[in-house]
Structure 1
Amino acid sequence: MIPEFYTIAQVADILSISKETLRRWDKNGKLVPVRNDENNYRLYHRSQLEQFEEVQLLFNSLWEKELNIKPERNYKLIELFAGAGGLAIGMEKAGFETVLLSEIDKYACQTLRQNRPEWNVVEGDINKLDFKKYRNSIDIISGGFPCQAFSYAGQKRGFEDARGTLFFEFARAIEEIKPKVFLAENVKGLLNHDCGKTLNTIKKIIDDIGYFLIEPRVLKAIFYKVPQKRERLFLVGIRKDIADKVKFRWPSPYNRIMTLRDALKKGDLYDCDVPLSTGIKYPQRKAEILSFVPEGGYWKDLPDNLQREFMMKSYYLGGGKTGMARRLAWNEPSLTLTCSPAQKQTERCHPDETRPLTVREYARIQTFPDSWQFSGPINNQYKQIGNAVPVNLAYAVGRSLIKLLNDSNNI
């Protein structure tokens, strides 16, 4: 059900602007909250927001209709750089049959095997894999290749320019297998990496190996039933012999923004509160200082003497550094999870308790099912979860890809 009122934090997330911008809009009359709630928070009525394109997409979403997309036949998938399985679970939920998963991290491989013994998990360096035996038998290749800078040297040799990078291995697999479609995901910074040269080289390589690239798009996880302000760049390529006969449509957004409360408490996302699990601890003095940070606050909310002690030399530098001494808020999505919940620059403190998020809390924010268990030392478990594609985001994109492949059957 679409909510009638929205908080300033929710509107800021939906419109991809800051709360400070909304406060300025309030002062100059551009967008004035209709009332305040019992906590004196600004509230906006949905009718005020319908002027914005992002909100129109949210209110007129086809999410429920797209949930009915099912594969018309058995679509086979190979995933590269599989990690702990966030993308793989989402694609499985969408209806793909996983034929092979390639991953180099031994603990991530243990996680995949523990949860899906039937999956063919190949552990080790991808450059030792020969994909030719799968030629023309796989419908889709997916994966999040690590982004490395390419060496151009002014030669513009396309495919050869990428040799030695992990994108080269991703492209090699596509060229050897010739799937109908591929899905690649990466950090949004790839859009402007090296002034756009890296992405331009990737586009040229994709063209050289016989694929039409849909214009890459940054997807915000909060729009796809994920309680986290995570943004990822997605690239979808379609083999040229079918590209002009089918149309890819990006998934519709869910009709509301999920919050940390949705992640950790019983509700629309999960049918019970988050299970107890292990988690790292703060050193005593750090915990004492963070205990003064209010829900949703950060280092600027500390008394001045504690600001100076915690920030040290950074206290005198410019910039907001809003991730430092940051406590999450129940009624907002989580900030983007990193490889550790207790890194000083990107603190992820529990909203009530003065401690880092636990492993299971981390997993819920990434929308992993509670049944999905993680292997390895606790620091590696955090790393596996923090590096993953949120399951519900992967599921939404997977449905769009199933629709594309269904349409290709009619060619």
Structure 2
Amino acid sequence: MKKTLRHLELFSGIGGFRKAIDLYCKDNNITSNCVAFSEVDKYATLTYKANYDTESEVEIGDIQLFTSKKENIKLLPDFDLLSGGFPCQAFSMMGEQKGFDDNRGNLFYNIIDILSIKKPKYVLLENVRNIKNHDKGKTYKEIIRSLDEDAGYHVTSDVFNTSDFGLPQTRRRVFFFAVRKDLINIRDAIILDNQSVKESVSLLNGSTSLKKYKNVLDDLLEKEVEEKYYLSEKLKPTILSNGSKNFKSNSKINQLIARPLTATMVKMHRACQDNYYSDEFLNHPNPNKYLETDIPKDEEVKHRIRKLTPLEALKLQGFDEDFCINASRAGVSNHQLYKQAGNAVSVNTVYSIIHYLFNKNLIKL
């Protein structure tokens, strides 16, 4: 009898967890059944529905409003795994780092509300790396305590870098995995660690449905794009600048392993924060040799330089061309696609973690 993985995706965005689970289940002859999802951003929801069949699923919407009535939670279909990248702005290095003093940080407790009533077997959550150090470690300890004492789960966590899993983007995120306490002996070790996951997925020898790239030149960046993606002559000096009197930076372009995508990349900050590429680099017969050349800024600014396209940004997170096309056809603008790519969880990282958990029998159906 074919096994089924029933899951619920909270703070779903464009469905990074769902995409990874769907691909893993497809590769391993398991039925993937998403029973419900939650997302408040209408454009992310539009992209989500353009790419997944959600007709028979519960659309939770605003999780605070939904969980304010226990009856809503009780009426959810049963599920094995709860997943989600709970809002990170409250803990991010880029934000004000208010943590649980921020309303967005408080959304974490809505997860606990659902776990306390539905009691699924497993939980897989994601957040920014800085959450481990936020408020001198108190925020991280509170997350562990809530999952353990309030919800009844054994918890393990580690930091994972997207670039370790076939996507050329430096993106370090904390993943938490929790198992309901009655399912495992307290003396048994529940360990989710980066090195073990890397070793586990390396044994697959690429035999998965994942899209993988060695670097941005490995069938990821396009050689020709529309003119609108190129920086204007007026903007280039600002983007390439190493900063000003009060802000110093090392603004480099043509990174083989992209910098972390951000939800605000559409605003085009500087080449020390976002990703830009020159035609000279993209079309050079030996790009690695080109990178060894020390090009003065006053010379580099004369080059034709462009930003990422929305498709390239989505590919850097593990989504494919059809995903982008479906969203665009549904009316999602490039502006929103950039934001969605920056907010997304990396598909390959989640897939690799799911593979490891099944391989180690930490998830059993």
Fold equivalence (TM over 0.5)? yes
Unpaired stretches in structure 2, ≥5 consecutive residues = 26-31, 67-71, 91-98, 203-211, 280-303
Please list, as runs of the form range in 1=range in 2, the aligned pairs for 1:9-408 lying within 5 A after superposition: 73-95=3-25, 96-118=32-54, 120=57, 122=59, 124-129=61-66, 130-134=72-76, 137-147=78-88, 148=90, 149-150=99-100, 165-208=106-149, 209-214=151-156, 216-244=157-185, 247=190, 250=193, 251-253=197-199, 258-264=214-220, 280-287=229-236, 299-300=241-242, 311-314=243-246, 321-322=249-250, 324=251, 326-329=252-255, 332-339=256-263, 340-341=265-266, 342-344=268-270, 346-352=273-279, 353-373=304-324, 374-375=327-328, 376-403=332-359, 408=364
In structure 2, the CA distance between the partners of 1:368 and 1:279, relative to structure 1 (3 Å rule), is farther
- Native 8 Å contact 1:109 1:123 kept in 2: no
Unpaired stretches in structure 1, ≥5 consecutive residues = 1-70, 152-160, 266-272, 291-297, 301-310
Q: Which runs of structure 1 show a deviation greater than 6 angstroms over 4 or more consecutive aligned residues?
A: 161-164
- Native 8 Å contact 1:275 1:360 kept in 2: no
Q: CA deviation at 1:247?
A: 4.8
From the CA coordinates, give the structure whose radius of gyration is larger.
Answer: 1
Q: CA deviation at 1:189?
A: 0.3
> Equivalent residue of 1:134, what SS?
coil
Deviations 1:235-262 (A, max 9, x none): 0010000132685555225659821112
Q: CA deviation at 1:407?
A: 5.7
Deviations 1:339-392 (A, max 9, x none): 215223613112434111111111111121111023523221100011111111
CA–CA distance in structure 2, aligned partners of residues 233 and 164 of structure 1:
15
Deviations 1:259-317 (A, max 9, x none): 1112526xxxxxxx689579655343123666xxxxxxx645xxxxxxxxxx3334xx5
In structure 2, the CA distance between the partners of 1:163 and 1:337, relative to structure 1 (3 Å rule), is closer
1:328 counterpart letter in structure 2 = N
CA–CA distance in structure 2, aligned partners of residues 277 and 180 of structure 1:
48
Q: TM-score, normalised by structure 1?
A: 0.64
- Native 8 Å contact 2:213 2:219 kept in 1: no
RMSD: 3.1
In structure 2, the CA distance between the partners of 1:234 and 1:351, relative to structure 1 (3 Å rule), is farther
- Native 8 Å contact 2:177 2:192 kept in 1: no
CA–CA distance in structure 1, aligned partners of residues 226 and 184 of structure 2:
47
1:335 counterpart letter in structure 2 = R
1:252 counterpart letter in structure 2 = K
CA–CA distance in structure 2, aligned partners of residues 363 and 107 of structure 1:
15
Deviations 1:39-73 (A, max 9, x none): xxxxxxxxxxxxxxxxxxxxxxxxxxxxxxxx961
CA–CA distance in structure 1, aligned partners of residues 351 and 80 of structure 2:
17
Equivalences, count: 296
In structure 2, the CA distance between the partners of 1:185 and 1:72, relative to structure 1 (3 Å rule), is farther
